[in-house]
Amino acid sequence: MHEITLTQILFVSTALFFIGMYGLFTRRNLITMLMSIELMLNSVNINFVAFNKYLFPEKLDGLFFTLFIITIAAAEAAVAIAIIINLYRSHNSIDVDDAAEMKY
Amino acid sequence: MNISAIIFYAISALILGAGILAVTSVKIFRAAIWLLFSLVGIAALYFWMQVEFIAAIQIVVYVGGIVVLIIFSIFLTQHSGKGMPNPTKSKMIFSALAALFGTALTYNLICNYAGFTMNTAKPFNTSMNEIGTQMLSITNYGYILPFEVVSMLLLAAMVGCIVIAMRPTPSTIVTKLPNESIILTNKD
């Protein structure tokens, strides 16, 4: 084996992204779907940092994008959990199949 | 195979194994704990890439904030001892096929792309001093405006969460009745 390069890190983040996508497709529970989305956001963060470190080490823009993504992911998770709690209060369930009023 | 590569593969195995268990575990509380391990592994990967500041932010925000928030909401909304119903077989098969196909396609693209020109001549300086100076520079290419906008976004999200999750008080329910509203408008 040889030195770890950008390609190996991209493989890891790709696998993590598609693991998150699999979870988003199979889960029917809102909290677990939110967890899958967190995994996908994290894989994007790994990509930003790796590209910044290995291709453009003289600038730090990738790190700034990662910081902004982490901030917005935190805001998104907080709002999503507020919505989930409100949904549980009105429907007594957080299954996506039970909240079908606006379907069709 | 040097020690750095071994550490990298160990961290990757932790991230991917915990990630797979987080999306397939039947009990929701266990899924949250596996997600926590996966996020810790990602923080370790940042340490391995020598971006300590991002790793610290990852631990503080994700592990300390978002996972705790998720666990709170699990306790508020779920009977965490009970397992979730399994997805149907056909949905599992087609989702796995879609994920595998996407992974294979992306791997193929990455393997065949030879345009990555590694730039190791210049040092990768990620001290906090450097991050702060470049991010908040007001001359050119600084990120001071997005920084301020994101602070407003956080404030708006915080207020929005409180408003959405607030239990409606009895008085507001009463004023929503049609008769009451008519009386109120007559008074006005």
Closest CA to B74 of A94, A96, A10, A27: A94
For residue A101, tell me if it sits in a domain: no
Q: d(Cα A51, Cα B49) in Å, to the nearest integer?
A: 11
Question: pLDDT band for position B181 (50/70/90)?
Answer: very low
What's the total number of domains in chain A?
A: 1
For residue A51, tell me if it sits in a domain: yes
CB contact under 8 A, B12 and A12: yes
Q: Which residues contact B70 (CB under 8 A, 6 or more apart)?
A: A31, A34, A35, A77, A81, B32, B35
Q: d(Cα B60, Cα B27) in Å, to the nearest integer?
A: 26
pLDDT at A76 over 60: yes
Q: d(Cα A45, Cα B49) in Å, to the nearest integer?
A: 13
Closest residue in chain B to residue A57, using alpha carbons only: B124
Q: With contact defined as beta carbons under 8 Å apart, do B35 and B22 qualify?
A: yes
The DSSP call for residue B85 is P
- What ipTM did this prediction achieve? 0.92
For residue A75, tell me if it sits in a domain: yes
pLDDT of residue B10: 95
Give residue A43's domain range: 6-91
Which segment of A77-86, A87-96, B20-29, B64-73 scores lowest on mean pLDDT? A87-96
pLDDT of residue B187: 43
pLDDT of residue B183: 46
Give the one of A39, A59, A71 whose C-beta lies nearest to B154's C-beta: A71
CB contact under 8 A, B98 and A25: yes
pLDDT at B77 over 50: yes
Residue with the bigger pLDDT between B149 and A98: it is B149
Closest residue in chain B to residue A79, using alpha carbons only: B161
Give the residue from B42, B101, B130 with the most A CB atoms within 10 Å of its CB, the best one to mutate.
B42
CB contact under 8 A, A42 and B62: yes
Q: Write B60-63 long-range contacts (CB < 8 A, 24+).
A: B61/A70, B61/A71, B61/A73, B61/A74, B62/A38, B62/A42, B62/A70, B63/B36, B63/B39
For residue A98, tell me if it sits in a domain: no
pLDDT at B86 over 90: no
CB contact under 8 A, A26 and B73: no
CB pairs under 8 A between A and B: 221
pLDDT of residue A69: 94
Question: pLDDT band for position B80 (50/70/90)?
Answer: low
Mean of the per-residue pLDDT values of chain A: 89
Q: With contact defined as beta carbons under 8 Å apart, do B80 and B27 qualify?
A: yes
Closest CA to A98 of B79, B23, B85: B85
Mean of the per-residue pLDDT values of chain B: 85
pLDDT of residue B188: 42
The pTM of the whole model exceeds 0.90 = no
- Helical axes B28-48 vs B67-77, angle rounded to 10°: 180
CB contact under 8 A, A63 and B58: no
Q: d(Cα A31, Cα A36) in Å, to the nearest integer?
A: 9
For residue A63, tell me if it sits in a domain: yes
Q: Tally Cβ neighbours within 10 Å of residue B83.
A: 12
The tens digit of pLDDT for each residue in B146-160 reads 999 999 999 999 999
Q: d(Cα B188, Cα B179) in Å, to the nearest integer?
A: 14
Closest residue in chain A to residue B163, using alpha carbons only: A82
State the CATH number of the domain containing residue A46: 1.10.287.3510
For residue A100, tell me if it sits in a domain: no
Q: With contact defined as beta carbons under 8 Å apart, do B74 and B32 qualify?
A: yes
Q: With contact defined as beta carbons under 8 Å apart, do A86 and B164 qualify?
A: yes
Q: With contact defined as beta carbons under 8 Å apart, do B38 and B15 qualify?
A: yes
Give the one of A3, A6, A23 whose C-beta lies nearest to B23's C-beta: A23
Q: Which domains does chain B have, with CATH numbers?
A: 3-83+125-187 (1.20.120)
Judging contacts by C-beta atoms under 8 Å, the chain A residues touching residue B85 are 28
Residue B184 distance to chain A (closest CA, Å): 27
What number is the average pLDDT over the span A19-38?
A: 92
For residue A96, tell me if it sits in a domain: no
CB contact under 8 A, B19 and A16: yes
What number is the average pLDDT over the span B110-120?
A: 78
DSSP codes, B89-128: HHHHHHHHHHHHHHHHHHHHHHHH--------SS-----H
For residue A1, tell me if it sits in a domain: no
Question: pLDDT band for position A97 (50/70/90)?
Answer: confident
Q: d(Cα B126, Cα B142) in Å, to the nearest integer?
A: 16
Closest residue in chain A to residue B143, using alpha carbons only: A64
